Protein backbone atom coordinates (compact mmCIF):
# COMPACT_ATOMS: atom_id res chain seq x y z
CA UNK A 1 0.00 0.00 0.00
CA UNK A 2 1.51 3.28 -1.18
CA UNK A 3 -0.03 5.21 1.71
CA UNK A 4 2.28 3.26 4.01
CA UNK A 5 5.32 5.00 2.48
CA UNK A 6 3.92 8.51 2.87
CA UNK A 7 6.07 10.78 4.99
CA UNK A 8 3.57 12.87 6.97
CA UNK A 9 4.80 15.75 9.09
CA UNK A 10 3.07 17.20 12.13
CA UNK A 11 1.26 19.79 10.00
CA UNK A 12 -0.34 17.06 7.91
CA UNK A 13 1.84 17.54 4.83
CA UNK A 14 2.20 14.11 3.24
CA UNK A 15 4.97 13.38 0.71
CA UNK A 16 5.17 10.25 -1.41
CA UNK A 17 8.91 9.52 -1.86
CA UNK A 18 8.21 7.13 -4.78
CA UNK A 19 6.38 9.58 -6.98
CA UNK A 20 7.07 13.04 -5.57
CA UNK A 21 3.36 13.70 -5.11
CA UNK A 22 2.30 15.64 -2.06
CA UNK A 23 -0.99 15.92 -0.23
CA UNK A 24 -2.36 17.75 2.78
CA UNK A 25 -4.40 15.90 5.37
CA UNK A 26 -6.01 17.10 8.56
CA UNK A 27 -5.37 15.59 11.97
CA UNK A 28 -7.94 12.80 11.59
CA UNK A 29 -6.77 12.06 8.05
CA UNK A 30 -3.24 11.64 9.38
CA UNK A 31 -4.61 9.45 12.18
CA UNK A 32 -6.45 7.19 9.69
CA UNK A 33 -3.49 6.87 7.30
CA UNK A 34 -1.17 5.95 10.14
CA UNK A 35 -3.69 3.42 11.45
CA UNK A 36 -4.16 1.86 7.99
CA UNK A 37 -0.38 1.66 7.63
CA UNK A 38 -0.24 -0.33 10.84
CA UNK A 39 -2.68 -2.81 9.30
CA UNK A 40 -5.74 -1.85 11.37
CA UNK A 41 -9.13 -2.46 9.77
CA UNK A 42 -11.85 0.18 9.41
CA UNK A 43 -13.77 -0.97 12.50
CA UNK A 44 -10.71 -0.85 14.76
CA UNK A 45 -9.84 2.59 13.42
CA UNK A 46 -13.40 3.83 14.04
CA UNK A 47 -13.19 2.57 17.64
CA UNK A 48 -9.86 4.32 18.08
CA UNK A 49 -11.30 7.55 16.68
CA UNK A 50 -14.25 7.37 19.09
CA UNK A 51 -11.80 7.16 22.00
CA UNK A 52 -9.75 10.08 20.69
CA UNK A 53 -12.44 12.42 19.33
CA UNK A 54 -16.02 13.43 20.08
CA UNK A 55 -17.66 11.30 17.40
CA UNK A 56 -20.15 8.41 17.16
CA UNK A 57 -18.75 5.07 15.91
CA UNK A 58 -21.08 4.72 12.90
CA UNK A 59 -20.31 8.28 11.79
CA UNK A 60 -16.57 7.65 12.20
CA UNK A 61 -16.85 4.40 10.21
CA UNK A 62 -18.65 6.16 7.34
CA UNK A 63 -16.03 8.90 7.27
CA UNK A 64 -13.23 6.33 7.22
CA UNK A 65 -14.82 4.46 4.31
CA UNK A 66 -15.28 7.74 2.47
CA UNK A 67 -11.66 8.74 3.16
CA UNK A 68 -10.41 5.32 2.03
CA UNK A 69 -12.28 5.73 -1.23
CA UNK A 70 -10.50 9.03 -1.75
CA UNK A 71 -7.12 7.45 -0.99
CA UNK A 72 -7.97 4.81 -3.57
CA UNK A 73 -8.76 7.47 -6.17
CA UNK A 74 -5.27 8.87 -5.66
CA UNK A 75 -3.81 5.39 -6.08
CA UNK A 76 -2.56 5.33 -2.50
CA UNK A 77 -4.10 1.99 -1.62
CA UNK A 78 -2.44 0.06 -4.45
For binding to another protein (CB under 8 A), which residues are involved?
7, 15, 17-22, 75, 78
Q: Shortest Cβ distance from residue 15 to another protein (Å)?
A: 5
Kindly report the backbone phi and psi dihedral angles of residue 8, in degrees, each rounded to the nearest multiple of 5, phi listed first.
Answer: -110, 125
By C-beta, is 6 or 46 nearer to another protein?
6
Nearest to 1 by CA among 78, 69, 58: 78
Nearer to another protein, 22 or 56 (CB): 22
Coil, strand or helix at 2: helix
Nearer residue to another protein within complex by CB, 22 or 24 = 22
CB 49 within 8 A of CB 41: no
Q: How far is the CB of 55 from another protein (least distance, A)?
A: 32
Amino acid sequence: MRAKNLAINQNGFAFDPDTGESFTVNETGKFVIEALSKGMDEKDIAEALVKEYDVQEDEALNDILDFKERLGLYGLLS
